[in-house]
Amino acid sequence: MTGPSTQISRYFHIQRSHQLGGIIAQLDKVAQLASEHLAADFIALFYRRPGDDAMILVACNRRQNVEVTQLNLLDKQWSEKDNTESLDALRIIDLKAAESEASALHDPFASANDFGFRTTVPLGDNNSALSVVTVYWLEQPSVISDETRQCLNLVLELVTSTMSVADRLHEVNDFSVRLARMLSILETGIVETTFRRAAQEITRVLGSLGHGGGSCFLVEEGERHRYVVGEFSGGDGHDAQTLDTIAAAASRSLGEIAQSDSTAQESRFVDLSDCATDEIQAAVAVDVTPDVEHRCALVIWTQGPTGFTENDLELLTVLAVTARNVLTYAVNMERISKSKRTLEKSSSRMADAEAFAALTDMTTGIAHDFNNVMGGIVGRVQLMKMKVDEGPMAAGLNQVESLAMEGAETVRRIQEFTRRTRNKKLSPMDLADVLETCLGDRPSTWRERAQATGVDVVCAERPETAVVDGDSDDLTTLMDKLIENAVEHSPSGGTVEVALVQKRSQWVLTVTDRGDGVPDEVRKKVFYPFFTTKTSRGAGLGLAIAHGIVVGHGGRIELDDCDPAGTVVRVSLRSSGGVIDESDITNRDGVSDRLRILVVDDDEQIRDILGDMLTIDGHSSTTCADGYEALEAIDEQPYDLVITDLGMPGMSGLDLAAVVHEKYPELPIAMITGWGTQLDEEDASLKGIKIVLPKPFHLKDVKSLVRDLAVR
């Protein structure tokens, strides 16, 4: 009879080891020789590994022509419990004798095969026997001689030594299989470039070690918090409390591992037996920290009662070396990626700054000259309109005036975009009030568009107060531009939602539409001046102006997609702890019927137009071509008001205002300029300038200026 391959394969995995197959064949031969020597009908050899309770059937043999069945009963008899207490010790037992102790000698295998006699021989003491031979006879055998006893002892010693070698081969084979499995995963390459993903991949490899479970823990330096960044669990897994217990123990172990300078095996690992539970019998941790910013430990545990072998720790050592290298690579790649993103952002900001500076230099000069031309055209047209009756001529003049003002508006938008460079004084103000005003009944371009397309603009959320340091006019323009943009991109009958909420130390304004969204290739350009996706209307300055206002306020503006469709523009402004000035500025009462006004401008057309406008309004005007001439005129006679241009050769309007204000501090000064409103308000105020009127200006603007600033 050949050896019991089913039983032995269960224990030694014979299907994966040719070496073990040869050992088993030798044991089968030994069993055959012993059976012939004892004239036995059946003989079986058992072996017990050190530390195990149950005996394992390793070889057996039957006499020719003897049928043996239900071998599993014999295997079960020795594997279920320790039967060494009832060993026969070479005493031949009559299994059928009435005087036999049935409780101690019950042998289902013998009964199934009608064996009448049995003897069992252990190697060593009954309680510590490592190998046993059991012999069965159908008939009464001869008395066992001393020579036979010695022969059986030799057989048992051979079984013990052979199986010890087999155990070692099995351990080597098991180590090789597990190492090969682990290396096959590592050889495919862990190319994850983020620390978290790399840790998750490492724990996947950790699972190949074949134990109850494993985890990779990330512990932040100097923090009490710990994070499980990767986890593998075998069997039914483990509950969160068990994992947290192991994580806590692993966290404590990192410091102990890091402080150890010894290279001895016992110093490479930290025993986590103190966190053992009913589920987890043993656990160890090994440090795989890649740098001081990422403290990390690999933890492995087992549910088996034998704990960890030397092979287990060697495999964990191999994995720990690889894990540390992989995590170091991932950390370095994260840093490189972060540095690359920072560099790209810096390069982009530098390019934007250079482009903006070039645009500013170009537009300011062009705008000044263009505004002077438009100012002359508009002024002359308005004077001509006063001399003609209603009719075709008046209609034509209105059209010319409208076209000129439209051109001037385009220039004004360019100046609004570039005005972020001016040093404008910001003061505490209520952003919630600005929002309420914008959404109120005041006229606005977006309101006309919304009514025409059926778009509903609603306020989703607004606080009672939202104090920021800002300029009310600028922030009103900002909200108008954002709402106008959202309305233009909303479908007919759609809704635009506006909300103002506080997030930490910032107030966040969001304007959301339900349009088609913004493609990625367009999103990078939406804040560029003159960029527009509209083909029939708009100059592409709305969001560019909004961007300039936000940057001028030290805030941030972002554009994101909205779920399920649409776009949300998000503006973040720092909250202010300042107090809002509630004082009211009242206009001076009364204006004299006839004022003496000094007009200073190097452009003859503008001088004449202003003089004519003031004369028509009943005032007396004196015109000067430069600042020096103006100073002489002021010294010759008193004036009620000075209106001066900003950019003039020789002496600028600011220099003139400074001299006049120093000599005549009560004399109000107004400034007209083709440079728009790009003036330092604080500097202008110190020089006595009360109002800045951009070119081109309307007759009604001149009247309003005189009414507000004239001194009786």
Q: What CATH number should be reported for the domain holding residue 73?
A: 3.30.450.40
- Write the pLDDT tens digit of every residue in 21-71: 567 777 788 888 888 888 889 998 888 777 677 778 888 888 888 888 888
pLDDT at 522: 72
Instruction: Kindly report the number of other CB atoms within 10 A of residue 353's CB atom.
Output: 10
Q: How far apart are CA 173 and CA 21, in angstroms?
A: 13
Q: Does 629 lie in the same domain as 500?
A: no
CATH of the domain at 434: 3.30.565.10
Reported as type and span, the H/E element at residue 121 is strand 117-122
Res. 238: pLDDT tops 60: no
pLDDT at 375: 74
pLDDT at 527: 72
- Whether the CB-CB separation of 569 and 594 falls below 8 Å is answered with no
Strand 117-122's sheet: what is its strand order? Answer: 56-62, 42-47, 131-137, 117-122, 93-94
* pLDDT top residue among 501 and 48: 501
- Region 671-682: what's the mean pLDDT? 70
Q: Does 508 lie in the same domain as 403?
A: no
Predicted confidence band of residue 9 (pLDDT cuts 50, 70, 90): very low
Instruction: Please indicate, yes or no, if residue 181 is contained in any of the structural domains.
Output: no
- Write the pLDDT tens digit of every residue in 544-557: 778 878 888 888 88
- Region 648-672: what's the mean pLDDT? 90
Pull the structure tokens for residue 392: 């075709």
Instruction: Please indicate, yes or no, if residue 205 is contained in any of the structural domains.
Output: yes
pLDDT at 550: 87
| Residue 497 Rama label (left phi>0; alpha psi -120 to 50; beta) | beta
- Whether the CB-CB separation of 250 and 259 falls below 8 Å is answered with no
Res. 211: pLDDT tops 90: no
Q: Taking CA 46 as the corner, what is the angle to CA 45 and CA 49, rounded to the nearest 5 degrees?
A: 145
Reported as type and span, the H/E element at residue 600 is strand 596-600
By CB atoms closer than 10 A (0-12, 13-18, 19+), residue 709 is buried
Of 88-97, 226-235, 598-607, 634-643, the poorest mean pLDDT is in: 226-235
Res. 262: pLDDT tops 50: no
Pull the structure tokens for residue 105: 């000698």
Q: Does 635 lie in the same domain as 553?
A: no
pLDDT at 260: 42
Q: Which residues make beta-bridge pairs with 133?
A: 45, 121
Q: How far apart are CA 141 and CA 148, in angstroms?
A: 13
Res. 678: pLDDT tops 50: yes
Q: Does 541 lie in the same domain as 446?
A: yes
pLDDT at 506: 92
pLDDT at 463: 92
- Region 669-688: what's the mean pLDDT? 76
Q: Does 363 lie in the same domain as 428?
A: no
* pLDDT top residue among 396 and 476: 476
- Whether the CB-CB separation of 595 and 706 falls below 8 Å is answered with yes
pLDDT at 3: 44
Of 7-21, 325-339, 435-449, 510-524, the poorest mean pLDDT is in: 7-21
* pLDDT top residue among 452 and 179: 452
**What is the residue type of 122?**
P
- Region 564-588: what's the mean pLDDT? 73
83 in helix, strand or coil? coil
Res. 219: pLDDT tops 50: no
Instruction: Please indicate, yes or no, if residue 590 is contained in any of the structural domains.
Output: no
Instruction: Please indicate, yes or no, if residue 10 is contained in any of the structural domains.
Output: yes
Res. 340: pLDDT tops 70: yes
Half-sphere exposure of 562 (CA within 13 A, CB side): 20
pLDDT at 291: 72
pTM, entire model = 0.43
Q: Does 156 lie in the same domain as 118?
A: yes
pLDDT at 88: 56
Pull the structure tokens for residue 132: 């046993």
Q: What range defines the domain where residue 493 resides?
A: 423-574
Q: Which of 119, 143, 172 is the last residue of a domain?
A: 172
pLDDT at 409: 67
Instruction: Please indicate, yes or no, if residue 581 is contained in any of the structural domains.
Output: no
pLDDT at 16: 44
Instruction: Please indicate, yes or no, if residue 580 is contained in any of the structural domains.
Output: no
- Whether the CB-CB separation of 654 and 643 falls below 8 Å is answered with no
Q: Which of 419, 442, 462 is the last residue of a domain?
A: 419
pLDDT at 155: 81
Q: Does 436 lie in the same domain as 558?
A: yes
Res. 510: pLDDT tops 90: yes
Instruction: Please indicate, yes or no, if residue 225 is contained in any of the structural domains.
Output: yes
Q: Does 634 lie in the same domain as 491?
A: no
- Region 117-135: what's the mean pLDDT? 77
Q: Does 150 lie in the same domain as 218?
A: no
Average pLDDT value for the chain: 74
- Region 471-496: what's the mean pLDDT? 88
Of 214-223, 292-301, 434-443, 616-625, the poorest mean pLDDT is in: 214-223
Pull the structure tokens for residue 391: 């009719």
pLDDT at 239: 57
Res. 102: pLDDT tops 60: no
Cβ-based neighbours of 344, under 8 Å, separated by 6 or more: none
Looking at the 3D structure of the chain, how many domains does it have? Answer: 4
For 367-434, give the secondary structure using H, E and C. HHHHHHHHHHHHHHHHHHHCCCCCCHHHHHHHHHHHHHHHHHHHHHHHHHHHHHHCCCCCEEEEHHHH
Q: Does 465 lie in the same domain as 384?
A: no
**What is the residue type of 685?**
S
**C-alpha dist (Å) from residue 394 to 360, 381, 402, 436, 624:** 38, 10, 12, 40, 32
Instruction: Please indicate, yes or no, if residue 589 is contained in any of the structural domains.
Output: no
Predicted confidence band of residue 360 (pLDDT cuts 50, 70, 90): low
Q: How far apart are CA 7 and CA 556, in angstroms?
A: 74
Q: Which of 172, 204, 221 is the last residue of a domain?
A: 172
Q: Does 451 lie in the same domain as 318?
A: no
pLDDT at 571: 94
Residue recorded with tokens 């001399």: 387
**C-alpha dist (Å) from residue 5 to 23, 424, 494, 532:** 12, 93, 78, 81
- Whether the CB-CB separation of 498 and 439 falls below 8 Å is answered with yes
Q: Does 308 lie in the same domain as 431?
A: no
**What is the residue type of 4?**
P
Kindly state the percentage of the chain with pLDDT values over 90.
11
Kindly state the percentage of the chain with pLDDT values over 70.
68
Res. 449: pLDDT tops 80: yes
φ and ψ at 613, to 5 degrees? -60, -45
